[in-house]
Amino acid sequence: MKQYFQRRHFLEAGLGAIAAAGLGAGIASSAAESGKAEIGLILYTLRDYLKTKDDIARTLEKVKKIGYNNVEITSCEAVTIPELAKILKDNELKAVSTHSSWDRMLNDLDRLVDEHKEIGCSHMCVGSMPNDFRNGEGYHKFAKMASEVGENLKSHGMTWGYHNHNFEFHHFDGKAGHQILVDESTPGAFNFEIDTYWVQAGGADPAQWIGKVSGRVPTVHMKDMLMLDGKQVFAEVGEGNLNWPAILKACQAANPKYLIVEQDTCYRDTFDSIATSIKNMKSWGLVA
């Protein structure tokens, strides 16, 4: 049976290493003062290299060699859960989160939980809000329904999170949809996975939104934005224009467990891109 997942510390950093990376002392200061989060990688970035069982095995071997120890599972439909568990174990990779099906969360949660336990993962996210909820009334409804899913997962020793894009920053009666989720969901059941790029693309401040969900953001998607040929593009972490000193300072206060690299589209070799992201993050004093 195939599975259907969809889509330690901040070490004290030497200012010389940060300066060599051209990123300034602000990042070093924020990283040095932080305490727990580890670097991870969402496999969605590598989806083109996950088409078969052999692809997945080769790709995760490369991920480990590049320096990642933590992965967020998505795009691995080509293998069964036992096969995925074995590939993770063989490469000494920890599944720290998944992007899982909203429909299965509603209709097949017990089996979905069992699958997570088989790969050793205790946190699942929904990668995006279904279209039917993307309206003023829908945000209120989704906050309630997802909170109930989160409460059910708590009884299994698991946690739940919501991954944003940019559409959540449309306003309804003067309030951003994402703010409705924050205000009307249940803390401790409904958590957030702030995606830095998509917050910025929505015209909002990633650092501010990490702060808004402090204590409810076990994972943060570290994703940069760059202007290339007059267009916004996804960039390697530290290679674009996001305010990383402010983002890291917000993370210091919000206390996520994992800072997860994601690049939806790479404008150069994908494996080079994920290597650049982890290299830059380590130069800031972060470790995998």
Radius of gyration of the chain (CA): 18
Q: What is the pLDDT of residue 124?
A: 98
Q: Which two tokens stand for residue 1?
A: 């049976």
Q: How far apart are CA 106 and CA 8, in angstroms?
A: 34
**What class does CATH assign to 15-283?**
alpha beta
Query: Residue 52: what are its φ and ψ, rounded to 5°?
Result: -135, 170
Annotate 5-21 with DSSP letters as a single string.
Answer: -B---BPPPPHHHHHHT
Annotate 207-227 with DSSP letters as a single string.
Answer: HHHHHHTTTS-SEEEE-EEEE
Range 199-221 average pLDDT? 98
Q: How far apart are CA 148 and CA 189, in angstroms?
A: 7
Q: What percent of the chain has pLDDT over 70?
A: 88
Q: How far apart are CA 10 and CA 12, in angstroms?
A: 7
Quote the DSSP letter at residue 14: P
SS3 call for 232? strand
Work out the burial of residue 174: count CB atoms within 10 Å of its CB; fewer than 13 is exposed, 13-18 middle, 19 or more buried.
Answer: exposed
Range 261-274 average pLDDT? 97
Binned at pLDDT 50, 70 and 90, residue 5 comes out as low
Q: Where in the chain are the domains?
A: 15-283
Binned at pLDDT 50, 70 and 90, residue 31 comes out as low
- Taking 50 as the threshold, does the pLDDT of residue 80 lie above it? yes
Q: Which two tokens stand for residue 35?
A: 């305490």
Q: How far apart are CA 179 and CA 176, in angstroms?
A: 5
Is-contact 139 177, C-beta < 8 A?
yes
pTM for this structure? Answer: 0.91
- From the DSSP assignment, how many helices (H) and strands (E) are in the chain? 12, 12
SS percent in the chain: helix, strand, coil, step 5: 45, 20, 35
Query: Residue 190: what are its φ and ψ, rounded to 5°?
Result: -105, 110
